[in-house]
Every structure is written in C-alpha cells, then in structure tokens.
Amino acid sequence: MRAMLAAETIPARSPGIPMQRRKPRIMSTGTLDGWQVLITGGGSGIGLGCAARFLADGATVTLMGRTRERLEQAAASLDAPEGRIRLAVGDVAVEEDVAKAVTTASAVEGGGERLDVAVASAGTGTMAPVIAQDAEEFDRVMKTNLYGTLYTFKHAGGVIAGSGGGAMCAISSIAGARTHQCGGAYCASKAAIDSLVQNAADELGRANVRVNSVLPGLVETDLSQGLQDDAAMLEDYLECMPVRRTGKPEDIAQAVRFLCGPEASWITGVLLNVDGGQHLRRGPKWEDLGRQLFGDDIIEGRINRN
C-alpha cells in the first residue's frame, strides 16, 4: 500500500470538523534576523508550516522537496520578502541530494557557509500487518523517514557546528511512542528517529548543536487525509485526546520554532509530544481499516505460509 490510507477507500469526512487551509501570514518580528534554516519536506504540511514560522521571525529558509513545481507553489503561498526563500529540489532518501540541499541552505553571500537550524520534516507512511509487510515497502518508509533524518543530521550537523552552533529538530510522531495496529513500518521508523535524536543530542552538545524531536498527533496534512476523512477513525482519535481537536501545521511549527530558537538554548535531547494529550492514553485503532484492506485472516494471524 504506497499511500498511507488512501482517501478513496474511506467513507466521507465527518461533518462539523472542517479542515482549514489558510495562507500563512508572514509578519516578521526580526528575532531570527540573519539566521539560515533548512527544512526538508518543506513543500507542504508541517514543513511548510515550519517555514512560515521561521520566516515570520526574520530567518532565510531553504525548502527541500522532490519537485520544483511543489516547492515553487509553496514559496508563492508564503509571500515572503525577496531573497528570503531558497529552493532545493531533491529526495531525502538520497544522501547526495541532502548534501546539496545543505550546501544551498548554508551559502553566504560573498562566499563561505553558515547554517543555524535544520528541520527534518520529510516523511511518508504505509499500512500493513507485520505478518503481511512487504519488505520493499518497509524499506521505502525507512529510507524516507529514518535515513532522510540521518542524512539531514549528518550533513547539516557538521555545518551548524562549524557555524558556531545551532539546532536541529526531527518531526517524529505519536506512532514512535504508541502502537498503531497495522502501522509497524511507520511506527518503527519514528521510534528509530527518536533514538537517533537522543544520540545526536548527546554527541553534538559539545559543539553547541542541540537536537530535539517533536511528536505530532493527528495533524491536518495531505499524508493524514485518509484518517481525517474516515468518520469512525477520526472519532477514535478524538476520544483519545484530552484537548479534543485535530492539530494544524502551525501547532507543530510553534513547537519546532521554540526548540530551535534562542529561547530553548539549554534544551536538547527532548522528545516533545504535541498531540492534544493523546500520548497520555493510547494509539488509534487502525484494525477495522486493516480488515478492509487485508481481510480477517491476516489481521487475526491466520496466514497461509505455502
């Protein structure tokens, strides 16, 4: 299943909880004037929300994504001052592409390099029970989510250290901390990201580079559209949230901006839940959708090994 819960396989969205697609407002506070920021997966969703937040404080932001058209559309939607947005076309699953994006993000007018912040936001998902998990599909998710984060930390981390210090932040998920039935590949990738974050934080603190992770719950993005459109699934998510609403990209962006900014200069190795409190309860029940996609025998462990 290449798409994570394709919307066409799911009933109509529950009324009363509409998605809001708003154009980010860029009102600079100047707090991060002169800062240079790289955001992978910056063409949409959480990455785009993070870009708007950093731009609002005066930073120059490089958006990395797989297609130039998507990046150009994202840049136009931000409506930032000229020269404050750079584009880096590439796939985070390809190390060379990430290295080139870091070069673009860290370029200084007149020569030299400087990078203050890197946000590893690019991600993908899939759905399958463990006993029916396709190895190539598992590898695809790991390459984007885990390897993409590794390559970002590897190449951005060295440049940030050489710039005198700064911060990196990964976009993980509640799936890294709570089980999601039929979501083993996605959960494993996010749990691995959080472990990588803490190891990187331990290693790079001596170079004045802080590394943290944000774990979103259900956020209104294209990746989670199928979950949002399934009325029963959406209600199950909401039942698990003390603050009963879906998240918006700006909810995550605010947390990322704080963790990467000067206000958090003594915070590193933190895995911050931003999920309406869902981590206090449980992960979502994806079993019913799994039965629709794979059948009762697979879900209940009755698999023909011949």
Q: pLDDT tens, 46-78?
A: 999 999 999 999 999 999 999 999 999 999 999
Cβ pair 54, 32 in contact under 8 A: yes
Dihedral angle over CA of 224, 246, 261, 66, nearest 10: 20
Helix (H) or strand (E) holding 171: strand 166-171
Spatial separation of the C-alpha atoms in residues 220 and 123, rounded to whole Å:
14
* Entry field: residues in the chain: 306
Q: What percent of the chain has pLDDT over 70?
A: 89
Q: How many domains does the chain have?
A: 1
Spatial separation of the C-alpha atoms in residues 139 and 189, rounded to whole Å:
10
Residue 305 lies in a domain: no
Task: Kindly report, residue by residue over 109-138, the tens digit of the pLDDT.
Answer: 888 999 999 999 999 999 999 999 999 999
The two three-digit tokens of residue 59, written as one number: 């930073």
**Global pTM?**
0.88
Identified catalytic residue from 147, 151, 186, 237: 186
* Structural domain span for residue 236: 24-299
**What type of residue sits at position 64?**
M
The residue among 293 and 15 whose pLDDT is bigger is 293
Dihedral angle over CA of 81, 79, 149, 236, nearest 10: 150
**What type of residue sits at position 207?**
A
Per-residue pLDDT at 14 exceeds 90 = no
Per-residue pLDDT at 278 exceeds 80 = yes
Residue 237 lies in a domain: yes
Q: Residue 106: name the closest of 92, 95, 118 by CA.
A: 118
Residue 151 lies in a domain: yes
Per-residue pLDDT at 27 exceeds 90 = no
Residue 267 lies in a domain: yes
Cβ pair 240, 18 in contact under 8 A: no
Residue 16 lies in a domain: no
Spatial separation of the C-alpha atoms in residues 19 and 262, rounded to whole Å:
32
How large is the average pLDDT for residues 192-217? 98
Residue 2 lies in a domain: no
pLDDT at position 94: 98
Residue 304 lies in a domain: no
Annotated catalytic residue 186? yes
Residue 199 lies in a domain: yes
Task: Kindly report, residue by residue over 165-198, the tens digit of the pLDDT.
Answer: 999 999 999 999 999 999 999 999 999 999 999 9
CATH label of the domain that carries residue 90: 3.40.50.720
